[in-house]
Chain A
Amino acid sequence: MDKLFELALAFAQVGIGAFGGGLSTLPLIEHQLVTQTRWLTPEGFGQVLALAQITPGPIAINAATLVGYQQAGLAGSLVATASLVCVPLAFVSLVLAALGRAPAEKALLFQRAIAPMVAALLTLAMVTPVSATVKNGVSATALFLVSISLILKVKFFKKYPFLLFLLIGAVSLLLP
């Protein structure tokens, strides 16, 4: 199968299943890129996730651009990102065309209907980063625990998590 077509197909599936936004899309991205296509190793997935969290934009777009580039250069980047963005947008357009305008009542019901699914995805999103961190050794695990207390105790880091990510990354460089 043509690489560009494979990229389009993989990221169309990520896009169409990306409900709830943000980190709850991780299990889907991981399934497509690690389990299904093996474009990334589990360690590579952790690095892409880390890079995505310290650069602007949704993780799904970051992953599409990077893995697209890794697989097929600039064309791969463009195709993967466009597929990720356009397939769900086509879906939104169809729903809007069918319903007229954004329907508040139905959106509320639907939001409640998908809440447990989003919670399940978020729970699964925790598995790989946490187990990879534990596997990375004692100092990584210590940084994990320190980060949890910083997020809970320091409002500043809760508000700007990417600054915490950069800080902990820098501290990690200094540790043995």
Chain B
Amino acid sequence: MTFGGGIAILGMVRLEMSARGIMSDEELAEICNFAVVMPGPIAVSSAYMLGRRLAGFRGAFLGILGAVLPPFLIILLLSPIALRHFDDPGVKKFFAGVLAAVAAMITTMVARDVRKTLTAWWPNAVSYAAVIAMIALLRWHPLPALLAGFAIQLALFAAAGFMKDPRAREEGD
């Protein structure tokens, strides 16, 4: 049951695994770091890799099912009801309130994370601004915008000499 989504779940996974003594902390950290940089929901990719490491492809399959099935079934049950009642005045009002609180949470995340990213290494601002401009102003599809931003970032890294020794940079996170 993950409500926070994303990184929050990794902390829970870590607790579960070390409580059961199945895997060393280093190995777990390695898998989690990798899950974060791979595409797709983090809960799913980490469940896949942990499952596979512990019990082969059967483990991977069960790991994915475990991560996907609960949210899938809950929304599947709610879908017919939600779609029928999204236009009811009371439902609209409730969701408008939820959305206001969600907007508030995203705003605080942006204030924190964006500042952290930009102050960690100032040239990050270049690819940050470029991706925003490509999507918001030029109306690009986000996928090519991400690729272009990634290319810009690698060029910045290469110019600064980070490609050979990533640890040379101070801990940004």
A contacts, CB < 8 Å to B: 13, 15-23, 27-28, 31, 36, 44, 46-47, 49-62, 65-66, 69-70, 74, 77, 81, 84-85, 87-89, 91-92, 95-96, 101-105, 107-127, 129-130, 132-133, 136, 140-141, 143-145, 147-148, 150-152, 160-162, 164-173
Contacts and interface: CB of A to CB of B under 8 A. Distances in A.
B108 A173 contact: no
Query: DSSP majority for the B interface?
Result: helix
Contacts of A44: 86
A165 to B, nearest CB: 5
16 contacts: A21-B36, A27-B142, A50-B102, A51-B98, A57-B71, A58-B41, A58-B71, A62-B75, A77-B76, A88-B44, A111-B173, A116-B128, A125-B106, A132-B99, A170-B94, A173-B94
Interface in B5-34: 5-7, 30-31, 33-34
B146 A17 contact: yes
Nearest to A67: B79
A126 B78 CA distance: 26
Interface string B115-150: 001101100111111011001100001110010011
A113 B71 contact: no
A37 B19 CA distance: 45
